[in-house]
Structure 1
Amino acid sequence: MTIKHSAVALFTALALAGCNSDSSNDDGKTLPVEGVKVAFMPDIHFHDVYGDFQDGSFDGLYNSQSGQGATIRTMMSQMKSTRLFNENYFAMIAALDDIVARGIKYVALPGDFSDDGQPVHMRGLVKIFDQYREEHGLEFFAAPGNHDPVRPFTQPAGKSDYLGRDGHEQRIFSKGKDECVGYEGDWTIIPTDNPLPTICTEEVKEWGYKEIMGILSHHGFDPQPEYKYFETPYSSDEARKNYSYDVALQEANYANRMYEICHEGTGGEHKEDSYTACSMVPDSTYLVEPIEGLWLMAIDANVYRPKADSTGGENNPGDYDGSSSAGYNMMLTHKAHVVEWISNTVKAAKEQNKVLLSFSHFPMTDFYNGASEEIEDIFGEGNFQLARQPEDDTSKALAKTGLSIHVGGHMHFNDTGMKQYNIDGETYTLFNIQAPSLAGYIPAYKVLEIKPNSQVEVETVVLENVPRFNELFEHYAKEHDQLVESGAGEIWNSEILDAESYYELTDWHIKELTRLRFLPEEWPQDIKNMLFNMDGKQMLILSQLETDITVCQLKEALGLPCVKTDGAGAEGQDDLNDFIQDWSLGKEKAEELANQHGMALIDFAEWDGEELAIDFYRLRNADELAFRDIEPSRLPQYKLLSEELYDMESEIHFGEDYSVSTPVGDVFKVRFGTLFYILDRFATGEASDNFLIDVEQGTLTDLKTVADRESLQ
C-alpha cells in the first residue's frame, strides 16, 4: 500500500475520532504447621449443570453424553458475563482432584462459591464438598461473597437466560418476581409471548445468610469436633479462655451472630445519635484452627448497607444495598467491630505463636498496580470496576491491624498487592494476594505453603485441562443455530465450540467478552474509532508523527464535515499533501526507533487494535500468567510504545471540541499514551505466579526464573 493511501485510509478513522503476625518459635523449634499447604479457590460461581429441581418444575435438556438433564445458562449469557456459568462446574471438580493429588487437605473459599445462592445449586455444591470430605479428607472453609448471599435475607429471584429446548432462552423465576405474579403454589408455568413459557419455582430464589450458613455449617461456618479452636467476633471472653466444642457451637448459632448496621455506619456501641434506618443483620466471620498452630481467618467482608428511610429485616430483603462495590472501604465505617476483632485476633496469634492466614471475598489493596488514576482518566469515573478498589487509607487502616497475609477474590484477577506503612514509628506490611477465578481467564487457584522463619510460599496452579469441559457443547450448537435463524444481531463466535481444552475455552471467553461487552460498554468512542482502524505499525509511526495539521483540517481535506477553521476548506488539498509528507517523515523516525531497539517496523503490523484490546484484558485479568498467550515479540513492542507515548505533555481536554485546534498526532499520543501506560502497569506489578513472602522482613521474592518466564512465552 502506498504512503498516501495508507495514511488517508487510517486518518479517515482518526478524523472521525474527534466527533504482621510472628509465627516463629523463640526457642527455634519447628512449628507443627511447617510444610502445611492451604488451597484458596475464590469465585467458583458454582452452578449445578445437572441440578435436581426437586419440585419437578424443570427437567433440563437431555444430554447425550451424561444421560442427564442439563440445567444451564446460554452461551450468549456466558460470553457477555465476567464469568462462565456452566463449564466451571467441571473446572471445580478438576481443581479438587488436583488438590487431592497434591496431598493438600485444606481448601479455603474466599467468596462467590455459588452464583447467587439458589437452593438447586447450593444443594449440588454441598453434595460435591461432602463427597470430597468423605472420600479424600478435604476440609472446606467458606467465607461469603456478594453472590452468596446477594442480600442478607432470602429474596425472590430468577434468570431469563437459562437454555431451553430448540436453543431458545428459558425464563425461570421464583414467587415474588414480576414474572410470576399470582403464583402461590409449589411451581407453575406461565404462558408468555416468548417462544417458551416462564417457569415459576422456589428452587431459584436467592437464599440469605441463614440458609447458606445452615447448609454449609460443616464446611467452615460452624465449629466441628475435630477443630482445635473456633471463634467469631461475637464469642464470649470465657469461651475464648476455656475453649470447648459445645460452647463454641452454641455461641456460633446464627441468632448469636447478628449485629446492628445503620445507613450511616456501624450500630451497637459505635452508633451515633444521628444514625438512621438501623436493623440487625448477620455476619459470618470466624476464626478456625484446623490443625495445631494454624489459624485461618475467614472474614465476612460483605456490607449490605440499609437504604435511607428503610425498615430492613427478614421481611424486607430489598431494603439493603448490594455489597458488590462496598468492600473494605465500607467495612471500616459499617462493620467497625469486625475490624477491631481482626486487630485483637492478630495480637492473640502473636501471643500464642500461631501462623495466621486470612481470606475474604474483597481485596485489601490496589489491584491495578498504581494505574487507577490513569484508568479513570481514559475510561471515566465509576467505570472499569474502580468503585471496588480500596482507598489507600483503607489499606493503611487494615495494615495497622497487624494483619500480614490476606487472600482475596471478587475481581477474578491474578495479582499481588504489597503495601508498607510507617505508623507511629512502626512498620506494617500488608500482602494482598488476589486469587483468580476458576470461571474465567486464566482458570487457576492459589496454594499457600507454610515455610520456616515466618515465610509463606505462594504458588499459582493453572488448570490446563478439565475433563468433560465440552460435554454441554451440543446444546450450545442448537442455541447458535437458533440465533442465526432468528437473525439476531449479536452472535457469539461458533469457533468456540472447537476449543480443545478448558484453558482454550477461557481464552475464547476473554476474547468474546472484550468484543461483545468491554469494548462497547467501557471504551470511549474516539479511542475505538482509532483502535479498530490501525495496526501496531501505524501506531508506532503516529508516536513519532510531528504535524500541525489538525483533526478538523484533515476532515476537510478528506471531504468530511467539521466545524470550520480559518482556511481549512480552501486549502484542504494542501493540508492533505502536507500531512502525507509529515507521515512519511514519521515513518522514517519510527523505522529508526524500532531498529535502535532490535526490532523492525514491519513486525508491528502483525497485530491490530482489536488484538491490543484483547491483550489489554488478558493482562488485566491474569497479570504475568497472560504472557503465555501473548506473542513473545509483542510485549517489548507494547513497552516501546508506552515509553514513547506516556511522557508527552498536553493540554488537550477531551470534553471540548478538540478536533478544531489539536494536531492529529497529538490526539493519538495523548489517548494512546495513557492506554499503553496502563497496559505496561498491568504487566509489571509485583510477582503474582510463584513467590515467597517473608512476614518478619516485610519482603516479597519472585521465585520464577527468567528461563521459567521465557518458557511460557
Structure 2
Amino acid sequence: MSDLPRIAIIADAHFHDLEGDFEFPRIEIDGEKLAVRSWADTRESTRVFNESAKALDEALAEVARRGIRHVVLLGDYTDDGQRQTTARVRTILDGHESAHGTRFYALPGNHDIFGPKGRHHTKQFLDRNDVRVLVTSDIGKAAPGSHATPRMYCEGYPTGLAPVATHGYFRRPDYLHWETPFGASDRVEDRLYPVSSPDGRNCYRLMDASYLVEPEPGLWLLMIDANVFEPRDGLFEEGDEAAFVDSTGAGWNALIRLKPFIVDWIADVSARATKLGKTLLAFSHYPVLDPFDGATGAESVLFGETNIARRTPQQAVADALMTAGMTLHFSGHLHVEGVTRRARGCRSLINVAVPSLVAFPPAFKIVEPSQSASSIETVELSAMAVDPRVLRAYRREAARAGEYPDPAFAAADYGSFLKAHKRALVQHRYFPKEWPGDVVNEISGLSIAAVCKLMPDAGAMTSASGQGAIAISEDAASLDMIEVIADWYCLRQAGVLALDKIPERRRALYRLLAKHFGRPPGTGWDGSTSGFLAIFFGAFDAFLDRAEAGSLHIRIESTSDTEEAA
C-alpha cells in the first residue's frame, strides 16, 4: 500500500456559470434568472454547457466523500475563459479548499486563456422571452439585437491566471518544493520565453505557466503548460488574436519545436526525481501519445483532416519525451477515455487520457501513486441527475423556435443525456461539417437493414429466421442508422466506458457488420456510398477491440505495466 496521497484528476470541466450575470435579460425558471446557453449551440458542440456546473459540483463532492485532498485540473476548467466564468471558478475552488482542505493544481487549456492579450467571445443564450440571443465581449462589433459585455472577454497571459493564481501557478508557503522551467522564482517576468513568426517580423516574449510542485513528501507533480501561441507571418496589431496560431490543434507537436526548454526541463526533473527517490507524475492539457491508439485510422480516409487528425501527437513527441525520461503522463483536451503505451529499448511512455465532465462519457480519474506502481481508477458521473431547470429551458427554446423537442430533453440521467447529445451531434455537427453530402442524403432516414442493402454483397444478408452469411434479428434490422452512427462515435470516445451504455446485442451486430461488410481504411475510399460504409463499418472492430481491452481500474508498474479487470 502506498504512503503517498491519492490524487483526483479532472479534465475539461468547461465550467459555465449558469447562475452568472452576463448583463443581458436572462431566461427565468422557477423565479431564478439563469444564463442558459441555447440548445441550438449545444447540439453543434462536442461539449455541453449548462450541465457543467452540476457536473463539476458532483465531481468535487465525490472527491470530498472519498477524503481526497489533492486535485489536478487538466486544463479547460472554464467554458472559454470568460472573465465572469473564471471569477466564478475561483470562488468554487476557494470554497472547496476552505471547506475540505483541498489543494488544487491547475493547468491552462486552450479554452482558458489566449496569447498575451486575450480574445473576444460571442455566445448564444436564451433571453427572458425564450428567444436565442447573442452575447458578446466585442462591444465595437455588437450587432443589432445582441448584447455586449466585457464579462465575456477571455484574458491572456498572465492576467488570465490571476483568478486561480493560488492553485499551483504561483508559490505557496505550504509547498515543500516549487519551481518553474526557469528556476525558483515565480515572478511573471522571470517566466518568459522568446517566440517569433517564421518571417521574423513578429517577435514576442510570452509567459509559460509550467511548474513542478511537491505537495507532500516524496510526491512530485510535473505540471506542463503545453499551450503554444506561434506568431503568424504578416502585419498585425501587437498582441492581437489574429496574430497567433491557436494552440487548439498544436499541443505537443508545436511545443517540442517552439518551447524546447520544456523538454530539457523534463529531462532534468526526471533525473533529479530518480536520484532523490521522488515519485514523479506528469500532466498537461494535451496528449503526448495518440489517445485513440490508432483506432481512428478510418477518419482521415472518410472525412479528411478532422480535429482528431490535427490534434494527434506525432512520433517525434514520443521520441523526445522518452529520451527526456518521462514515463507516465495524464492528458485531457480530446474528451476521450484511453491508455496508450509506447516503448523504445529500455524506455517506455504511457499516456492516460482523462475523459471530460461535459461530454460522453462523463468521468474523472483517481490515481494512487507509489515508487513501484500507480493504481488508477475511473469514476463515472453517468448516474447524476440533469438539472431540471435546464431541461425546461430547452423545451421552452424548442417551442419558441417551432422545433420538436429533442430526445435528450427526456433523459433519465446525465449519461443518457450525453448519449442523446451524441445523436444530436451526428445530425447537427458531423453530418453538415464532416460527412460527404451524397452519403448523408443516401442513408438519412434509413434503417440498418436498408443501409446494408446498399452494399455490393447485400444478397447474403437475411433476417434471423433465414439463411445467409449474416443473420440479424428483426429488432436489429429496424435500428435507425442514426443510432448506429451515434454508437460509432460513442465507442470512439468512450472506449471501455461505452460497453455498458450500448446493449450487447448491438455490439454483436456491429461485429457482424464489420466482419461481413467492413474494409480496412488502407484500401482507400472509391467515392461511392458503399465504399464509404465499408470503411465505416470496418472501424467498429478497432473501436470494440480497444473498448474490450480497457478497464475501469488499471495498475501501472514503474518499469512495466499490467491491467486488472474492473
Shorter-chain TM-score category? over 0.9
What aligned pairs does 1:133-532 form with structure 2 within 5 A after superposition?
133-155=97-119, 157-175=120-138, 177-179=140-142, 192=144, 197-235=145-183, 239=184, 251-264=185-198, 275-310=200-235, 313-314=238-239, 316-380=240-304, 382-422=305-345, 427-451=346-370, 454-466=372-384, 469-484=387-402, 491=403, 493-532=405-444
Q: Which amino acid aligns with 1:141?
A: Y
CA distance in structure 1 between the partners assigned to 2:16 and 2:117 by the alignment: 20
Q: Percent identity?
A: 28
**Aligned twin of 2:72:** 108
Question: Of residues 699, 702, 705 in structure 1, which corresponds to 2:564?
Answer: 702
TM-superposition CA deviations, 1:623-672 (whole Å, max 9, x none): 111111212112122122212334589988635xx7xxxxxxxx62x332
Q: In the TM superposition, what is the alpha-carbon distance from 1:528 to its structure 2 partner?
A: 2.6
| Secondary structure of residue in 2 paired with 1:400 | helix
Contact 1:116-1:150 within 8 A present in 2 as well: no
Q: In the TM superposition, what is the alpha-carbon distance from 1:92 to its structure 2 partner?
A: 0.3
Shifted more, 642-651 versus 137-146: the winner is: 642-651
**Aligned twin of 1:62:** 28
In 2 relative to 1, CA 616–450 (structure 1 residues): closer, same or farther, beyond 3 Å? same
CA distance in structure 2 between the partners assigned to 1:152 and 1:116 by the alignment: 16
Q: In the TM superposition, what is the alpha-carbon distance from 1:131 to its structure 2 partner?
A: 0.6
**Aligned twin of 1:681:** 542
Q: Which amino acid aligns with 2:552?
A: D
In 2 relative to 1, CA 428–652 (structure 1 residues): closer, same or farther, beyond 3 Å? closer
CA distance in structure 2 between the partners assigned to 1:480 and 1:649 by the alignment: 39
Q: In the TM superposition, what is the alpha-carbon distance from 1:517 to its structure 2 partner?
A: 1.2
CA distance in structure 2 between the partners assigned to 1:687 and 1:651 by the alignment: 28
Shifted more, 84-93 versus 158-167: the winner is: 158-167
**Aligned twin of 1:645:** 517
CA distance in structure 2 between the partners assigned to 1:614 and 1:436 by the alignment: 18
In 2 relative to 1, CA 501–604 (structure 1 residues): closer, same or farther, beyond 3 Å? closer
CA distance in structure 2 between the partners assigned to 1:178 and 1:518 by the alignment: 30
Q: In the TM superposition, what is the alpha-carbon distance from 1:431 to its structure 2 partner?
A: 0.9
Contact 2:395-2:405 within 8 A present in 1 as well: no
In 2 relative to 1, CA 472–428 (structure 1 residues): closer, same or farther, beyond 3 Å? same
Q: Give the TM-score taking structure 2 as reference length.
A: 0.92
Question: Of residues 487, 491, 513 in structure 2, which corresponds to 1:619?
Answer: 491
CA distance in structure 2 between the partners assigned to 1:31 and 1:640 by the alignment: 45
Contact 1:32-1:293 within 8 A present in 2 as well: no
In 2 relative to 1, CA 97–392 (structure 1 residues): closer, same or farther, beyond 3 Å? same
1:607 aligns with 2:490: no
Q: In the TM superposition, what is the alpha-carbon distance from 1:492 to its structure 2 partner?
A: 6.5
| Secondary structure of residue in 1 paired with 2:20 | coil
**Aligned twin of 1:554:** none
Shifted more, 82-91 versus 500-509: the winner is: 500-509
Q: Which amino acid aligns with 2:469?
A: L
**Aligned twin of 1:38:** 7
Contact 1:312-1:320 within 8 A present in 2 as well: no
Q: Which amino acid aligns with 2:504?
A: P
Give aligned pairs, total: 563
**Aligned twin of 1:268:** none
CA distance in structure 2 between the partners assigned to 1:416 and 1:294 by the alignment: 22
Q: In the TM superposition, what is the alpha-carbon distance from 1:105 to its structure 2 partner?
A: 0.9
Q: Which amino acid aligns with 1:203?
A: R
**Aligned twin of 1:126:** 90
CA distance in structure 1 between the partners assigned to 2:491 and 2:325 by the alignment: 31
Bigger RCO (CA 8 Å, 6+ sep)? 1
CA distance in structure 1 between the partners assigned to 2:359 and 2:556 by the alignment: 26
Aligned residues: CA RMSD: 2.6
Contact 1:44-1:112 within 8 A present in 2 as well: yes
In 2 relative to 1, CA 531–348 (structure 1 residues): closer, same or farther, beyond 3 Å? farther
What aligned pairs does 1:554-593 form with structure 2 within 5 A after superposition?
587=462, 591-593=467-469
CA distance in structure 2 between the partners assigned to 1:648 and 1:444 by the alignment: 31
| Secondary structure of residue in 2 paired with 1:691 | strand
Q: Which amino acid aligns with 1:294?
A: L
CA distance in structure 1 between the partners assigned to 2:73 and 2:262 by the alignment: 19
Q: In the TM superposition, what is the alpha-carbon distance from 1:261 to its structure 2 partner?
A: 0.9
| Secondary structure of residue in 2 paired with 1:429 | strand
Larger Rg: 1
CA distance in structure 1 between the partners assigned to 2:486 and 2:521 by the alignment: 27
CA distance in structure 2 between the partners assigned to 1:495 and 1:221 by the alignment: 42
Q: In the TM superposition, what is the alpha-carbon distance from 1:176 to its structure 2 partner?
A: 5.3
In 2 relative to 1, CA 221–586 (structure 1 residues): closer, same or farther, beyond 3 Å? closer
In 2 relative to 1, CA 600–387 (structure 1 residues): closer, same or farther, beyond 3 Å? closer
TM-superposition CA deviations, 1:437-467 (whole Å, max 9, x none): 111111111111124x621111111113435
**Aligned twin of 1:567:** none
In 2 relative to 1, CA 463–371 (structure 1 residues): closer, same or farther, beyond 3 Å? closer
Contact 2:191-2:209 within 8 A present in 1 as well: yes
| Secondary structure of residue in 2 paired with 1:261 | strand
Q: In the TM superposition, what is the alpha-carbon distance from 1:505 to its structure 2 partner?
A: 1.8
CA distance in structure 2 between the partners assigned to 1:648 and 1:58 by the alignment: 52
Q: In the TM superposition, what is the alpha-carbon distance from 1:153 to its structure 2 partner?
A: 2.0
Structure 2 unaligned runs (5+)? none
Q: Which amino acid aligns with 1:161?
A: Q
Q: Which amino acid aligns with 1:60?
A: R
Q: In the TM superposition, what is the alpha-carbon distance from 1:372 to its structure 2 partner?
A: 4.1
Q: Which amino acid aligns with 2:151?
A: E
In 2 relative to 1, CA 678–222 (structure 1 residues): closer, same or farther, beyond 3 Å? same
CA distance in structure 2 between the partners assigned to 1:399 and 1:353 by the alignment: 19
Q: In the TM superposition, what is the alpha-carbon distance from 1:602 to its structure 2 partner?
A: 4.2
CA distance in structure 1 between the partners assigned to 2:117 and 2:396 by the alignment: 38
In 2 relative to 1, CA 523–289 (structure 1 residues): closer, same or farther, beyond 3 Å? same
| Secondary structure of residue in 2 paired with 1:473 | helix
Q: In the TM superposition, what is the alpha-carbon distance from 1:436 to its structure 2 partner?
A: 0.8
